[in-house]
A and B are shown apart, each in its own frame.
Chain A
Amino acid sequence: MSIEIDRQKCVGCGRCRDVCPGTLIALDTEKRAYIKYPRDCWGCTSCIKECPVCAIRFFLGADMGGMGSRMYTEKHGDILDWLIEKPDGGIVKISVDTRESNKY
């Protein structure tokens, strides 16, 4: 389980690097973020939620039953959309209203 950062989309703001609780993300010489220690990711998705340009994808390793999907978020006001991109190109979206509590 880890993350991937899309170099083309990255704008070099460094917010993902700042919030990573494990200090696992670095900026390269052209100020593009990359995951320096991919095996040390906790899967907290802080970086994904902080990225202003949706450049970061989260995935499960095959060792924990991953099937090749990628997950990312988009924020629209109070709504946090979680999107799962499947290997066949299909997308599942779950919208969470951040003003609403968990029900369980």
Chain B
Amino acid sequence: MNVLEFTFLVWTGSLIAGFLGALTGLGGGVVLVPLLTIFFKVDLRYAIGASLVSVIATSSGSAAAYVEEGFSNIRLGMFLEIATTLGALLGAFLTAHVPLSVTAVIFGLVLIGSAYSSRRTRQRTEVTEVADPLATKLKLNGTFPDTSGIRHYNVYRVPAGFSVMFGAGALSGLLGIGSGALKVLAMDQAMKVPFKVSTTTSNFMIGVTAAASAGVYLSRGYIDPSLAMPVMLGVLIGSLLGTRVLVRTETRRLRLLFSGVIVLLGIEMLFKGLTGNL
């Protein structure tokens, strides 16, 4: 395949991934690496580098759409970014020291896990614990607009949330993904932050987290401009289109289909890792 054909096909594939990722809320980043390694036979390191760069593009590009809603919690995001950026630095450091086959296996498991967590229905138990004094001290408790006016919420179990965020950062740095699903889990499930606040705050954090490992990737030579170019431009345009269409589409079936694709890609990555066929 010559450069022009390759660039065009990668661009198209990334555009579709970004579009479906935004439309289903599952994120496009998670399918980019398997797309590049399985279908385009790209080395895992280059694929991870290109994917990470495009994660920054989608996070920053869609921030405007999220902010207008007025849900995200800046202090909570900034505080947790200490955990995610340190985790990301560790993850990026590990990419060079963990065998590629192990990275591929972890990737496969993360893919399957993220498809599974999107299928699970969210169940919330009523909060009976006392508010975390740390949350009060750090001014993490917040408000958000609701149909019935302004609602107040408290943040619980700050240390637990902080620890999960460190893990989310490490996975992001190791695999070149946004790990938005895990970030939402940390806030929504561990810290009992309202779901809407969790998703918008998570989107804000993804870009900063990814930037923390991007520097390491750059100095390792994982970011190849000729490959990252079509990936980043494709995902960016695709995800912007996806968020536009999102408002007027029934996405339940599409989500199911896309989750299925993610599971298949996960199995393939797992297989590649286990057989060492990279």
A, B from the same assembly: no
A contact set with B: CB distance below 8 Å: none
B contact set with A: CB distance below 8 Å: none
